[in-house]
């Protein structure tokens, strides 16, 4: 249990909104990006959890069901933004993809 930041009411950890005042208990920003080509109709949902310090990526199918999801910390999210934005600074590094069933290399 924790206290609501808005009204101070007692809230169970599973609640996303306060049952007493309806205040959201997590601060996040969400964007959807539509697929192209063979993935038209699918979407990439990106959720940035501003207080928890991570970004979650999820792939949604045409019927609105999440097919896969992964969370990355702020440093990895920044590295991804640089990669997508085309940054070519000396600090940008290429990492090999892990083998199936293998954990990715540590940062």
Please determine, for residue 22, whether its predicted confidence score (pLDDT) is greater than 90.
yes
Query: Closest by alpha carbon to 47, among 17, 77, 4?
Result: 77
pLDDT at 13: 82
d(CA 107, CA 105): 6
pLDDT at 25: 84
Tell which wins on pLDDT, 9 or 102. 9
Report yes or no: 45 and 55 within 8 Å, Cβ to Cβ. Answer: no
The encoded tokens of residue 78 equal: 């920044």
pTM higher than 0.75: no
Please determine, for residue 6, whether its predicted confidence score (pLDDT) is greater than 60.
yes
Share of the chain above pLDDT 90, in %: 63
């Amino acid at each position: 249990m924790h206290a609501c930041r808005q009204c101070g009411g007692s809230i169970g950890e599973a609640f996303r909104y306060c049952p007493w005042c309806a205040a959201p208990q997590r601060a996040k920003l969400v964007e959807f990006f539509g697929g192209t080509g063979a993935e038209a109709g699918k979407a990439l949902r990106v959720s940035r959890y501003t207080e928890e310090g991570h970004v979650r990526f999820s792939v949604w199918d045409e019927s609105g069901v999440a097919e896969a999801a992964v969370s990355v910390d702020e440093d990895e999210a920044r590295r991804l933004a640089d990669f997508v934005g085309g940054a070519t600074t000396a600090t940008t590094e290429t990492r090999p993809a892990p083998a199936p069933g293998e954990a990715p290399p540590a940062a």
